[in-house]
Every structure is written in C-alpha cells, then in structure tokens.
Amino acid sequence: MCRHIGYVGAPLPVGEILTRGTHSLRVQSYAPAEMRSRARVNADGFGAAWWHPASGGAGSQGQRNGHPRVVAARYRNAAPIWTDPAVDEVLVQLVSRGILGAIRSATSGMPVERAACAPFVDGVWAFSHNGHVPDWRAVLTAVCADLDALALRAGSAGLFAAELLLTAESPTDSATVWTLLARLLRAEFVAGPAEALRLLCAAILAHAPTSRLNFLLSDGETLWATTVHHSLYALLTPESAILSSEPYDDDPAWLPIEDRQLVCARPGELSSTPLAAEPNDPA
Ligand code: GLN
C-alpha cells in the first residue's frame, strides 16, 4: 500500500509538505504506523505535484474563473523517497498553493517504475491512489462498459472504450484507474469531481467489492478524497486544508475520516458524505 498527502492553502515549499513533522510522509516511507495490508514499507518510489500558471499567458485560453489558468506539474522517482536529495535540494525551492505527495509500495506483480508512481496528472488535475483493484484488467474493462452505458443514457456519446485502458502510463491498477477518472472529469454528463469519484468508486466496487479505493484528487485549490479500506486524516485551519493517510505529527486537531466517505476540503472547510449515498455532492 501507499501513503499520500494533499495540501491547499497559503503558498508553501513542495519539499516541506513531504518532510513536515516527526511522522512526515518521508518517515512514513520506512516507518508507517497504520498500514492495513501486508506491506511494511513504502519504498517503491514517490512523487509530488504542484500547480503553476499554464504557459500561453493571460489570453482567454489562459483564464479560468477570471484567474490565470494553472496546471499541475510533478516530480517522480521510482527510488525510495529517503534516497533522493532532490526533496531537500530542489523541491524546497518550489512554492505552491496546492501540493499533492505520494509514496508507493507496489502491489505484488506490478512494475516498479517511475511511470507507476503517483501523482498522475492531466491539465489542472493531480491524482493518487492508495489501494488495490483485484483482477484490475477484467474489472476495469467491465467498468468501461458500465460508464459507457451511463454516458449513453445521459445522451453523451460513448467515451469509455476499453482501448482507453491501453493509454495508461504504466500497466498498474492505479495508472489505469486514472485514465478512467481523467475521462470522467472531462465528461459532460458528470457534474464535477465529487460526482466523478462517486461514479468511479461505485462502478469498481460493483465488480470488485473487495477493492481498496483511497483516492486523492486536487486541482490545486480543493482536495477531494475517498476512503475505502485505508486510513485518512484531515487537518484544517482557516488558512489551509490537509488530507493525509497518516497524521504527520501529534497535533490533537487531526480528524480521522471514517471508512467509505467522499471528502472535500478547502482552507477552513471540510465536508464528508457516505460514498454510497445518492449524489448530493460537496462542490
Ligand atoms: N496498487 C497500486 C500500485 O501498485 C497502489 C499500491 C498501494 O496503495 N500500495 O501502484
């Protein structure tokens, strides 16, 4: 299993979020406290995403809600995070209002390579998956068919041909789940990121009920997460919101999130609704 952390708030160095606290994400890579699987370390690589203005300037293409459009950038390495000096020497130089960090323990049988390390990014989106989809090739092929049926019922053309699965960056469950989620995030029949996550979890769990689906998604301003099996905690201040697989320190303000929740967090705001509930999503 893996661990992840998302931050939104006042600008912070990317490297700081990876190393902050006595039980930082970097410490969790060799001494995690809450592993709910057989894995004991998270040594199969790591990654971090941050947000910066899209190149192309301030033309209409470069604007989003009146603000300059931002895109997610990332750094990944298939080596353990504690071996990479870039964390202290380079990632501390990059400052962002949104940060998403992940450390990986490859599911047995899956490749250990940089392309398999989260965050996965596409435009403004960055994504991480802590968990496992059993028999993922068959299950995600069936999920494609279900999502296509849903799209057709909503009057959209089919968007989820199984070939989509072949476009995944790496032959892993997580990279392939990301191809589906990235498509859902662009689909007209889906109201927003919370609904995209809800639809995807429901479709995967319908075919593989023992799946472990702790997802973490951000556009650099808001964090969305799901809890299916693994741990997740929130730490809120008026200026920031953090969602993390494990608390990085002993601050009593860390709030444990229950299992099977869909969480949405922004500075000073946290909402959590049961995943199985009817879509009435946090923004
Ligand atoms: N199944 C994913 C992978 O192998 C995530 C692993 C995890 O959560 N440990 O990359």
Residue 102: its pLDDT value, please?
98
Q: What is the span of the domain harbouring residue 38?
A: 3-274
Domain presence at residue 113: yes
The contacts found for 140-148 with CB under 8 angstroms, 24 or more apart, are 140/165, 140/173, 140/176, 140/177, 140/180, 140/204, 141/165, 142/207, 143/180, 143/200, 143/203, 143/204, 143/207, 144/180, 146/203, 146/206, 146/207, 147/180, 147/184, 147/199, 147/203
ipTM confidence: 0.96
Answer positive or negative: Cα dihedral of 44, 48, 255, 199: negative
Residue among 113, 130, 139 whose CB has most ligand 1 atoms within 8 A, to mutate: 130
Domain presence at residue 282: no
Which CATH number do you get for residue 137?
Answer: 3.60.20.10
Answer positive or negative: Cα dihedral of 67, 69, 72, 73: negative
Cβ(105) to ligand 1 under 6 A?
yes
Cβ(223) to ligand 1 under 6 A?
no
CA separation, residue 200 to residues 7, 185, 275 (Å): 23, 11, 11
Domain presence at residue 157: yes
Cβ(110) to ligand 1 under 6 A?
yes
Q: Please check the confidence at residue 283 and state whether its pLDDT lies above 70.
A: no
Domain presence at residue 281: no
Domain presence at residue 283: no
Residue nearest to atom 7 of ligand 1 (CA): 1
Ligand 1 centre and the CA of 68: distance in Å? 34
Residue 68: its pLDDT value, please?
67
Domain presence at residue 10: yes
Nearest to 119 by CA among 109, 111, 110, 129: 129
Within its chain, how far is the Cα of 138 from the centroid?
22
Q: What is the mean pLDDT of the chain?
A: 91
Cβ(212) to ligand 1 under 6 A?
no
Residue 58: its pLDDT value, please?
47
Q: Please check the confidence at residue 103 and state whether its pLDDT lies above 50.
A: yes
Ligand 1 centre and the CA of 44: distance in Å? 9
Contact 55, 96 (CB under 8 A): no
- The pLDDT of 116-145, averaged and rounded, is 97
Domain presence at residue 279: no
Domain presence at residue 138: yes
Comparison of pLDDT for 232 and 158, the residue scoring more: 232
Cβ(174) to ligand 1 under 6 A?
yes
Ligand 1 nearest-atom number relative to CA 39: 9
Rounded to two decimals, the pTM is 0.93
d(CA 154, CA 148): 10
Q: How confident is the model at residue 61 (pLDDT cuts 50, 70, 90)?
A: very low
Ligand 1 centre and the CA of 158: distance in Å? 29
For the stretch 19-43, pLDDT in tens is 999 999 999 999 988 766 666 899 9
Residue nearest to atom 1 of ligand 1 (CA): 132
Cβ(173) to ligand 1 under 6 A?
yes
Domain count, the chain: 1
Ligand 1 centre and the CA of 247: distance in Å? 20
Residue nearest to atom 9 of ligand 1 (CA): 1
Active site residues: 2
For the stretch 139-194, pLDDT in tens is 999 999 999 999 989 888 767 777 888 899 999 999 999 999 999 999 999 999 99
Cβ(45) to ligand 1 under 6 A?
no
